[in-house]
Chain A
Amino acid sequence: MSDRVAVVGVGAVPPRPLSVDRSYRELGFESATRAYGDAGVTHQDIESFISVCEDFHEGTSITDEYTPDQLGAVLRPVHTIAGDGLQGVAAAVMLIRTGIADLVAVEAHCKTSNILTHEQVLAMALDPTYERALRVTPHFVAGMEMRRYLHETGSPEDAVAMVVVKNRRHALGNPVAAYGGILSPDDVLASATVCEPLRELEISPNSDGAVVLVLASEEAARRTPKPVWIRGVGWASGSPWLAGRSWGQASYAGVAAEMAYRMAGITQPDREIRFAEIDDTYAYKELQHLEAAQLAPRADVTRMVMEGDTRRDGRLPVNPSGGSLGMGYCFDATALYRTAEAVRQIRGEAGRAQVAQATTGLVVSWRGIPTQSGGALVLSAD
């Protein structure tokens, strides 16, 4: 029996800052309908379902209990990953490789607009005894990471601004991206300071959305029209302690990428990976993640971004979809949006966002502040 696993269906609704017209159930139903149709399967063909969600983001305890209806999963095997989206994908890979299921659906959604006090949710994620009592906006964690990254690498703030310029421009080529725009680095640097050195335009705007992916064993994938193969998957967590973490680099992403590369048999990531959909919740994160995934040595990252290597037509296109900066940040669903966009690239379905020779792609995810948790996924056309 083959132990290869493929993504055979993707379905998503366009992320938007508001979605007052529909409930999360209705958004999820649309995404699932699209994903099952894309894979050429029905809800009854899916043998196991995974929901990626967090109670505080939903305002409902045991929120995953509300998932089955919109996936067609009533009285079927369902379980939850309250973590990063790629951890949900990894769980699906395990279900398939252990022979428990041949077809698995992974779901994530977010109604960021329904959380009226998001800063309170973030505050709840800080250690209650040591950190919360100081009453500082949790964005400070990002400000401190960015400060240390710039300090260690000597990168100019322009490089961070250039990530925003690039991803917002990429978003113009993606018909479902909400935040396409033509900006200059000066526009970005002139935006309001949130937690210096972090600026407003360097933070991805929160958006509502829903994504469903269908994963399949090789045997089941051969019966579907457009399989994209998962060659490697990895995930890792760093330290929860603010004082004890590696502020200047995304060490969790380094470990996750190594794990995924080992499984994929990739020894020279900078040559074998042809494009990347990488977490850019904060613009500096894209730089950290490029380095962590060994797509560029630390000393070269700034130059690559400044010289346009990471543009859609560059040597290593990064976030040709627009990333979270261009499409919106969808909390728990972010990693699945990145994965869905990478699948579209490899299928050659990305339209004006299409990069040339998108044969092998990398997805890097991050669980968001204040975590040091993330994942990596290597996807390939064969």
Chain B
Amino acid sequence: MARTRAKPAIARAQAPPYVPLRGHPLNEEEFRGQVGSTAWAPRLEYAWDAGVAISRFLDGLRQGKIYGVRCRRCGRTVTPPRAFCELDFKPMDEWVELLDTGTINTFSICYVTWDMKPLRVPQIPAVIEIDGTSPRVGFLHLVGGVRGRTVTEIRRQVRAGLPVRAVWKPPAKREGAITDILYFEPVRKRTKK
């Protein structure tokens, strides 16, 4: 097969066509029809102590604020906050309030649920680097407010390096959890400060 001539590096690769996944969710019978198996459903419950740093972070989310901490030694500003700098191994306790805007580091367009059932409207998990923090600092969240559901449609609007802004739950519905932010939506024009 002849080699095609390489396109100039700056040309945007064509997004692959959207192909709906085949199949259906597995049912109980399909899971449990195995011969010679012993079933056991664990009922495990935990309640994790969030600790000093994350407790304050979660409390901030309830108020619609993203808190971070700055390391007095290496100068990094990080969120989610932590009680100590994992690089310098020193306490980290200079608190800062951050903006609720950031940049997409990486993302994926997922056509299956977390338990591998097909999705027609995809989820877009992304790592968001929050503005005002040091490089490679931020958290996993979802990208939303994007029109369409095909790869082509979404990739026209979402890319690594894209500025995004948090869309919050209404104050009365917030509970001090990362889900108090519904998703991050693309910011087309940044408002001047």
Contact = CB atoms under 8 A, between A and B. Distances in A.
A115 B46 CA distance: 5
A59 to B, nearest CB: 4
B47 A114 contact: yes
Nearest to B91: A29
B31 to A, nearest CB: 16
B162 to A, nearest CB: 28
B48 interface: yes
B84 A59 contact: no
A33 B89 contact: yes
A311 interface: no
B141 interface: no
A120 B40 contact: no
Interface string B75-111: 0000000111011010000000000000000000000
Contacts of B51: 21-26
Given A22-B52, A23-B54, A129-B38, A114 B86 contact: no
Contacts of A70: 84, 86
A42 B40 contact: no
Interface residues of B, number: 21
Interface string A21-44: 111111001001100000000110
Contacts of A156: none
A111 interface: yes
Given A29-B83, A43-B89, A128-B38, A120 B49 contact: no
Contacts of A115: 45-46
A301 B120 CA distance: 70
A173 interface: no
A69 interface: yes
A23 B82 CA distance: 10
B190 interface: no
A157 B53 CA distance: 48
Interface in B30-68: 38, 40, 42-54
A32 B45 CA distance: 28
A111 B46 CA distance: 10
A114 B50 CA distance: 10
A23 B49 contact: yes
Contact of B82 (A24, A32, A69): A69
Interface in A41-84: 42-43, 56, 59, 68-70, 72, 74
A100 interface: no
Contacts of A133: 38
B44 A23 contact: no
A120 B47 CA distance: 15
Contacts of B46: 59, 114-116
Nearest to B90: A33
Given A29-B84, A114-B49, A72 B44 contact: no
B86 A74 contact: yes
B86 A26 contact: no
B87 A74 contact: yes
A121 B44 CA distance: 7
A115 B48 CA distance: 8
Given A20-B49, A111-B49, A120 B44 contact: yes
A371 interface: no
A335 B11 CA distance: 61
A115 B49 CA distance: 11
Of A23, A72, A117, most buried by chain B (CB within 10 Å of CB) is: A23
Contacts of B48: 23, 59, 111, 114
Given A33-B89, A42-B89, A74-B86, A128 B52 contact: no
A202 to B, nearest CB: 27
A20 B45 CA distance: 17
A310 B45 CA distance: 40
Given A21-B52, A22-B51, A23-B50, A117 B89 contact: no
A128 B89 contact: no
Given A42-B89, A59-B46, A25 B82 contact: yes
A128 B83 CA distance: 41
Contacts of A68: 86
Interface in A108-128: 111, 113-117, 120-121, 124, 128
Given A21-B52, A33-B89, A120-B44, 15 more contacts: A19-B49, A21-B49, A23-B53, A26-B51, A43-B89, A59-B46, A69-B82, A70-B86, A72-B86, A114-B48, A116-B46, A117-B44, A124-B40, A124-B42, A128-B38
5 contacts: A26-B83, A74-B86, A111-B49, A114-B48, A116-B45
Which 3 A-B pairs rank lowest in CB-CB distance, beginning with the nearest? A23-B51, A59-B46, A69-B86
